[in-house]
Amino acid sequence: MNATNIFGVDIGGSGIKGAPVDLERGALAEERHKVLTPHPATPEAVLDGVRQVVEHFGWSGPVGVTFPGVVVDGVTRTAANVDKSWIDRDARSLISDRLGLPVTLLNDADAAGIAEMSFGAGRGRTGTVILLTLGTGIGSAVFTDGRLLPNTELGHLELHGHDAEKHASTKAKEDEELSWHHWAHRVRKYLAHVEMLFSPELFVIGGGVSRKADKFLPLIEGIKAEVVPAELQNNAGIVGAAMAARSAASAGTARPARPA
Ligand code: BGC
């Protein structure tokens, strides 16, 4: 293991992706490997996928893993877009035992936010910065002066009587076959609502759709904060997971692997 590399895994609605991360550059050290997220995405099935991704690289060392739900002290508390049997499981221990490696587990949007604040669109930004990932769900990461307030779950704010992510995620765009224009209108309303509550200086828009930012960001008007696309795009979760694993390793809070 290169001393500056740590492995990152991103568990998403459609794929489980991972790679060793070069933490000095905030970039993947090798091309990432991806397996499809099993359906139903039960802990057992997802754990198999995570193991395949890590074994693909023959990795041994600390691993950071993202999860698309609330994670407190390694326990997965919610599961909006994965199997409900994740709720209240000690997922960090499950993953660590399966891999035989020390594991750090955190929310997927928080991981993406950590990476963007150090290496992407939030670099050097102070004040309140909010990263929103638009994908199967909507994830959020809230920072003040670079410090993360974890597990904010702003995707589940209520908007016009609906869970906001059901209305403004890219899944909603696909399921309802919305035009860019129509969908951007929904995203604008959502951003206006979040802005009313938090008055951030900057919104960073992440998720796979950030690659197509030119199709919808110019349609979003009337938001006082600056609105910019994420820069690390689909790799932000992997990079942020590895960064969190490094912090946990130096703080001594990673879940150590049990002796075989
Ligand atoms: C979950 C969040 C997650 C987001 C993006 C939401 O449904 O509640 O925890 O960050 O989806 O995956």
Residue type present at position 185: H
Distance CA 107, CA 233 (A): 16
251 C-alpha to ligand 1 centroid (Å):
26
pLDDT at 259: 59
For ligand 1, atom 2, the nearest C-alpha belongs to 69
Tokens (6 digits) for 223 = 């938001």
Tokens (6 digits) for 145 = 């002066």
Angle, helices 43-56/91-99, rounded to nearest 10 degrees? 40
Q: Name the pTM for this structure.
A: 0.96
224 C-alpha to ligand 1 centroid (Å):
25
The number of the ligand 1 atom at minimal distance from the alpha carbon of 78 is 8
> Distance from CA of residue 252 to its chain's centroid?
23
Are 242 and 236 spatial neighbours (Cβ–Cβ below 8 Å)? no
The number of the ligand 1 atom at minimal distance from the alpha carbon of 69 is 9
pLDDT at 25: 96
- Beta bridge partners of residue 177, listed in sequence order: none
Tokens (6 digits) for 176 = 């309802």
Q: In this structure, what DSSP letter does residue 258 have?
A: P
- Which pLDDT tens digits describe the chain residue by residue (260 residues)? 556 799 999 999 889 999 999 999 999 999 999 999 999 999 999 999 999 999 999 999 999 999 999 999 999 999 999 999 999 999 999 999 999 999 999 999 999 999 999 999 999 999 999 999 999 999 999 999 999 999 999 999 999 899 999 999 999 999 999 999 999 999 999 999 999 999 999 999 999 899 999 999 999 999 999 999 999 978 999 999 999 999 998 887 766 677 54
Q: Which domains does the chain have, with CATH numbers?
A: 5-110+235-251 (3.30.420.40), 124-231 (3.30.420.40)
pLDDT at 260: 47
